[in-house]
Chain A
């Protein structure tokens, strides 16, 4: 079925450490993946995306890794800061027809950064 899942509902890390948030997806037809960050009272904020023809993409302090063999996606945050505390969602785009698709979100992982 269509589902995107996260391995852990809550991740607690020490400030300055690296964080790794994992996500498993089920649809082999997914062609595009996105990570979002959502802070309390706000809408999801785009962090980084990756197409299915790539296996790694880097941004500022963040890296997304895609392993299509095991249908696994991860978000790595370097030198985690208190401002990184939020709920993180992965999402996969399942192409429906032509250039359209449906974005399926995971349940989210809460990242807590300890000072």
Chain B
């Protein structure tokens, strides 16, 4: 069974631009969560989607948004990028019940210059 797939693996953007990251969950998994990982703040929860609906949201500004498609694939978008948005963005999927046995992808490393 293929794992969680995230694309692209690396991304370099400049301040003010926007970016879209993609995540394909494990087949059969309906819940997709996004996390931001930085050396200073560690792993922080962004949001979670289940059956195309945002089920939970972390404490991030409105510049961070996401969506989930009918095939459970998910995208997250960050608009008006800031230097502090440089981070590893991780996607995780689970079968259904929130946060149980979350499986993570390798992440997208975003650098904002």
Contact = CB atoms under 8 A, between A and B. Distances in A.
Indicate whether A and B interact. Answer: yes
A100 B55 contact: yes
A44 B55 contact: no
Contacts of A34: 99, 101-102
Interface stretch (B12-20, B64-72, B104-112): B104-112
Interface stretch (A54-62, A67-75, A77-85, A102-110): A102-110
Given A42-B106, A43-B107, A46-B102, A99 B42 contact: no
A34 to B, nearest CB: 7
B49 to A, nearest CB: 11
B100 A32 contact: yes
A25 interface: no
Interface SS, B side? strand
Contacts of B4: 43
Interface residues of B, number: 24
Contacts of A105: 35, 42-44
A36 to B, nearest CB: 8
Contact of A103 (B55, B102, B106, B107): B102
Contacts of A32: 99-100
A99 B4 CA distance: 23
A103 B45 contact: yes
B48 to A, nearest CB: 7
A43 B108 CA distance: 10
Given A44-B90, A108-B42, A99 B97 contact: yes
A67 B107 CA distance: 32
Nearest to A107: B42
A42 B6 CA distance: 11
A47 to B, nearest CB: 11
Interface of B: 4, 33, 35, 42-45, 48, 55-56, 58, 90, 92, 97-107
